[in-house]
Structure 1
Amino acid sequence: MKKRFGIIPELFFMGMGMFWTIESYFALGSVNYFALLVTWLLFLQIFYKNRLAGLIYGTALGSFSVYMLLAVTSEYHELEAASIAMRSTALGVVLFSAAILMGIAMVYKYVRTKVNYDESVLTVTY
């Protein structure tokens, strides 16, 4: 049960990556390969559980979420309709606050892991 809940941050970011891919395809009519790459790397991370990659992904995605949270809150006054501004700002704050928490959880998970070296095989245990 604990292992199933351990992949929630990766699944959350994979869902955001898939949403980003689909949104880009319908808005621009082209495939967003960067979003697909991020989603694929997180998918591989679920199976291989590389400690260094997990720390890098968690830090990068958490930092990007902080940036996006600041961007969403700074654009509140630029929107003309107050109701649209409140809804989009509230949605952005909730979404990117959750993403920050998932990034922190991902970093915390991979900081706590124990690395076992066995000749040429690198495994991670929890």
Structure 2
Amino acid sequence: MKKYLLILPEFILIGLSAYWLLDIFIGNDYFNPIAFCVFLMLLLQVFIQNKYVGFSLASLISLFSLYMVLAVFSEFNDFHTLSFEAFQFLVFGLLLCFLGFCSAIAMFYKFLPKVF
């Protein structure tokens, strides 16, 4: 059971990256190679468990999640009226950012003792 809990952050991040990839592909009919590379790197990380790649991915994803919090607030400020859709956007965006950040921090702490 503990083994499955240790790889849970990777599965959460795989789900978020798959959502990112499919959202752009279905919504805009555009293939995003960066989202695909992130998805593949996280998928390979589940099977290979390289400590340096895991530590690097966790660092980059945590920084990206913090950046996305600022992007969510910026888009929220573009709403002219404070409607239900605006608050729904804010809650859903911050929830995704929080989920990604917490998963990256959990992955960061998992690989931290192995790297140093």
Report runs of 4+ in structure 1 exceeding 4 Å deviation.
none
**Aligned equivalents of 1:65, 1:114: Cα separation in 2:** 22
Measured against aligned partners, the alpha-carbon deviations of 1:49-92 in whole angstroms (never above 9, x if no partner) come to: 11110110000001000000121123322113421111100111
The 8 Å contact of residues 59 and 108 in structure 2, kept in 1 or not, is answered as yes
What residue in structure 2 maps to residue 17 of structure 1? Answer: 17
C-alpha contact (below 8 Å) 2:65/2:100 kept by paired residues? yes
CA deviation profile, 1:7-28 (whole Å, cap 9, x unmatched): 1111111111111111111122
Counterpart of 2:111 in structure 1: which amino acid? Y
Partner of 1:62: 62
The aligned residue for residue 49 of structure 1 is 49
Greater strand share, structure number: 1
The percentage of aligned residue pairs carrying the same residue is: 30
Q: Which has the larger radius of gyration?
A: 1
Structure 2 CA distance, aligned partners of 1:114 and 1:53? 10
Matched residue count: 115
Shift of 1:114: 7.7
Alignment TM-score, normalising by the size of structure 2? 0.90
* CA RMSD, Structure 1 to Structure 2 (Å): 1.6
Q: How far apart, CA to CA, are the structure 1 residues paired with 2:89 and 2:29?
A: 24
Task: Give the residue type in structure 1 aligned to 2:3.
Answer: K
Name structure 2 gaps, 5 residues minimum. none
